[in-house]
Structure 1
């Protein structure tokens, strides 16, 4: 079951600042789409593999209110949890980098398999985060029980079930776009130390935040800005997994102990 309290208010703190701000920003972008044609300028297709603007902006554009609504509902929980554990600035960097990496993967494969298709929407971020958290969870719990049955399956592969269900039951959902996001999530989860080297160093983030302190202090109190100084010493061993909040998920990928037993759119069109 979902532990909604730990997801929406991690550590008993208010909703995270970047997560809340992103929800507002995506809504504003969608409203602008009703006046200005942004879809043709921002959606991503294999032909745009060298277009950095599209590679980083395609998650921001949505094709309908339902598309936006379901992407926001699915993304806010895992993103809020991630931001509370990694910091606000780092999370912003991760969103940009993962959009580019997933976009590149989508375009490379698309050159061979679907050269004429395009994607848009933030659900790729959702699959990246779910892939990341499921990989971390698998280090503590390699196999997960299937509901109340005696059957178990690999924890790391649990997002694939969601991927298949969405592909089957959501019209025009982009299987390849979602799979690209999920693959990037697995990559980050398995190589988090290496991935973190792509982001600005901690000392630089703290320096920037110190310079912008007067503006950070003006952020409304009903959202929480996570400064780098608050999370830099966090070994992140006390992860709250989306489905099993009582397990502790490791930051680094140490060898697990042996145990016995147990266009098309990204999201809703």
Structure 2
């Protein structure tokens, strides 16, 4: 019988040591903000959560801070466990600078703005959301589109379920199991993930030539441990592998799970 304890401990430790820089930074920031949120002198959640009717020019920072802030210890723990393998895979594929630009750019602001528009303009409500599962569901949307291109259906008995619907099913399951989660917030994340998976957001990514210039100018690969260069990434950018005979291949999809976005 295999040593389950040794296997899990050694594998987890080895995996943690291999995590790339941006993924490490996001996990660390989430943990630090949870610790800061324990004190009662300053209400961190009220300051950084996405509250639709409190978004203005001076509070636009909420659009980028809300995925980093969580309700409690378990909310933080589950989101870290769900996000880490997804974020690690994304950074390994696209590089550290691209991950930084995309996750503190369109991959966060687009679902946040979409949520505000739907919450205030359509539902006439003002529900607060926070939590990194917005990123988890977004990456699941990317995975679903990629999987659909190579494996369009899941066969369950006599039924053929389109694989692109998997994140939608997970949002419903999460909403049923965790009533305080934000179904609309998760759906906004999935929607933007679909757009990214279909290639409609490629133009929002920083150009590779500029990334190479920055990396060379600052010698980031030599100075920063666990940094993933644009030329060291596992696969090609945006789903295209390097070619030798004029052809191209589709990048394997992301894999992972999800947890709630907020109350």
TM-score by length of 2: 0.79
Per-residue deviation at 1:187? 1.1
Secondary structure at the aligned position of 1:172 is classed as coil
Q: Which is worse superposed, 194-203 or 167-176?
A: 194-203
Residue 252 (structure 2) pairs with residue 239 (structure 1): yes
Q: Which residue, out of 229, 238, 243, partners 1:227?
A: 229
Per-residue deviation at 1:79? 1.4
CA contact (8 A) 1:70 1:267 kept: no
C-alpha RMSD over aligned residues? 2.6
CA distance in 2 between counterparts of 1:238 and 1:177 reads: 27
Residue 129 (structure 2) pairs with residue 113 (structure 1): no
Secondary structure at the aligned position of 2:131 is classed as coil
Per-residue deviation at 1:218? 4.2
Secondary structure at the aligned position of 2:161 is classed as strand
Secondary structure at the aligned position of 1:118 is classed as coil
CA contact (8 A) 2:148 2:164 kept: yes
Q: How many residues align?
A: 232
Secondary structure at the aligned position of 1:153 is classed as strand
1:63-212 to 2 correspondence within 5 Å?
A: 63-96=71-104, 97-111=106-120, 112-146=122-156, 149-190=157-198, 192=199, 194-212=200-218
1:47-58 to 2 correspondence within 5 Å?
A: 47-50=53-56, 51-58=59-66
Distance 1:114 1:168, change over 3 A: farther
Instruction: Note the residue ranges of structure 2 that are not aligned, 5 or more in a row.
Output: 1-12, 242-249
Shift >4 Å, 4+ stretches: none
1:26-45 to 2 correspondence within 5 Å?
A: 26-35=30-39, 36-45=42-51
Q: Which is worse superposed, 233-242 or 127-136?
A: 233-242
Per-residue deviation at 1:9? 8.7
CA distance in 2 between counterparts of 1:66 and 1:40 reads: 19
TM-score by length of 1: 0.78
